[in-house]
Structure 1
Amino acid sequence: MAALIDARRLVVKIGSALLVDRGTGALRADWLRSLADDVAWLKAMGKDVILVSSGSIALGRGVLGLPRSELALEQSQAAAAVGQIRLARAYEEALAPHAITTAQVLVTLEDSSNRRRYLNSRATLETLIGLGAVPIVNENDTIATDEIRYGDNDRLAAQVAVTIGADQMILLSDVDGFYSANPMQDATATRFDVIERITPAIEAMAGDAGSGLSKGGMKTKLMAAKLATAGGCAMAIAEGSPLNPLKTLNNGAACTWFTATLDPQAARKRWIGAMKPRGQVMVDAGAADALCKGKSLLPAGVVQVSGSYGRGDPVDILAPDSHKLGQGLSRYTAAESRAIMGCKSADIETILGYPGRAALIHRDDMAF
């Protein structure tokens, strides 16, 4: 089974029930401080940590005096608006004693389904991580409607894990793993220690989306596991209510691990390589040599642009003799690419009239 200390980059999803007392609607401050201790412990070992946190609606509804029953959409959005600022402040105050900078990142489904926005959110998260900050990610419940929302933070966490190339994801839940049936209803239910492949039989055990012990149910956790493991990220479902839940998990607490067959980088390269290209960029000999050594493609190395494509679209990368070196996701449209090809990165803003990224295609967005 995996161990947290083996992770290079870790995504941790925290449910509302862990952060907010169900009876009083108040923040569980002691628990949050213990989680902050765990995050500091991981970062001291050189791990990248990203938190995907629920809790904004649960915190906000109490402040606004809204009922415990199901809320109307506009009430949920109002509660999220009030609760999100409190949630962000709580994380900041919990992590500040460890000299850890926090960053709030609010997303909707469109930020992953639209390739341009996907690349922008990925670049932002990578920059924050590179600067040593801990991103606190949540769905933007204040503006998200049913057609543009994930609907649960289990799948959001999996999407974040795949986006930033995490190798482990932990779903801190109110149950200590994946069971053959709901253990609250079936005394014969047994927990799986490791699931190497999600079979139809495993899926049948998950029940309906509304079942299980957490808001999203076990079915949404299984959907998250599918997405994460396909992206090269192992995933664990673990009991999150004890203090220091991550250290507790690392010390051998019961859980279920879903294993990944590929590493995150290989999975991402395979995803990019399987896309249908929307255009072509031809590079000079110097750029071709640099690309083969793992460098990004800069505008200065581009000699020809073909096709009509947008930012985030896949394009073929051609050598000077027209043979295909690979393909990648362009950070510029075809028109922008033509305007800046052959130019130095420092001249991009002058040419386009607005700031741009130094690389036309970043090395992490290429498959050869």
Structure 2
Amino acid sequence: MSILEIKKLEKHDEHSLIFPEFNLTVSEKDIIAIHANTNVRSILLKMLMGEIPISNGSIFICGEQITRTSMRFVHSKIGFSLLDDGLYDRLSVKDNYLFYRTIYSSKLSVEDCIRAVQLESKKGYRVSKLTYSEKRRVHFGRLLFQNSDLYIFEEPDQNVDLETKQILIKLVKQLGQDGKAVLILTNNVESALFVTNQVYRLDETGLHALDVLSEEEVTIEEASATKEEEEVIIQPVRFEKIPTKVNDKIVLFDPPEIDYIESSEGNSIIYINGEAYPCAFTMAELETRLNPYGFFRCHRSYIVNLQKVREVVTFTRNSFSLILADAKKSSIPLSKTKMAELKGMLGLK
């Protein structure tokens, strides 16, 4: 059963496109993350909360379309964990939970909730005396009293300690096992992959699913491929995606997504939409793999996607840079010898 349905949703801000039309369905037991910048994340959250009108497209919660008149029903079905959520600082953890239990008419015991977020030793403490990570755990526990169909987390692991991250993972998995749907909104791929393998990126180009494999799945696929090679002779297949590593996950990117690659202390770092991803391939290997896709070795330490270059800037007679068309207008060095080669490629004298 689908809990959240987004249909042909898009958003413009005057003359700029925030995100184009996209569709997404989140069903029972789904744990899905959307990786987006702060502006996109904020707008999507406000649409889900009914704070800004949906002019293009529609959002359905348990079959009910989000409108101004349906917000009471919508909020009864969604539990929000927001970055700026407040707590009753003068009350203890236990008293906060007693209050939430009453408000939501929950059958969950306060003691069970406190155990779930591992705050047994702090249950008598005022919330104001807790660390930031412990306060986030109080927020997570509050959601359990709501017993919603859909839980939406905004940057749930931002600036929290490892113990709180582990509690978050356990909590989210338990929600999924209980038949709940979970949507995580974050501007950090590492945070998204820390919780789930179902990750989408939402930006001005649309909604795209990240191709994610665990290291175990990679090992199994490699073993399977080796076995097949031993059994039959097959024609070599060109592997077009570029693998990067985030936590213990392998994320595969299509070459056109890459802005540029930098060599730092002997390691290759791939940059996509301002985020850095380590890659096991050497710069020479990446140059060979990416050359058919319009990439150019502009400097001994840089490979750039020429489709992303907006300007070629001359600082001095022997100093050049490439300015990219990304949000940061990244500046990539261009060596003198490569400048001549680039001019030849462009047909310039």
TM-score normalized with structure 1 length: 0.24
Provide TM-score, normalisation by structure 2.
0.25
Q: Who wins on radius of gyration, i.e. which is larger?
A: 2
Higher share of residues assigned strand? 2
